[in-house]
Structure 1
Amino acid sequence: MWYYPGMPEDIQKPEIRITATYSFTSDHLPENAPGFPTRSQDGLTEEEFLSAWNNLLESFHPNKL
């Protein structure tokens, strides 16, 4: 989750909450339990997921990440 508290009484700086959820089905367990699978055909790789997440955040405030 990404959270920006905003500025009270400032319509240009509202409170923002962004939550990304992702699920996939795989017949291979990741090397570390909370991690991503290493086989890209099972779903997004960790690198692809984080790239999409960064693109989402960047779209809210370009050139500020």
Structure 2
Amino acid sequence: MKALGVAGVGQSSWGPTGFGVVGSQAEAERVVAALALKNRMPDRLNFVIATGRNHGARITVA
């Protein structure tokens, strides 16, 4: 992903999950398309585009 210009790249500690942080939906779609073409393993890879939660936790006291 770094070669595709993704600045924020990481991997989960408990599984084969990688992630990248990009600035827009269009950029995410471009990166996913490039990765899908490069890897060509549709039965082993799953790409998901998600948005971040742009606020902290909310605690409600009943």
Query: What's the TM-score, normalizing by structure 1?
Result: 0.31
Query: What's the TM-score, normalizing by structure 2?
Result: 0.32
- Larger Rg: 1 or 2? 1
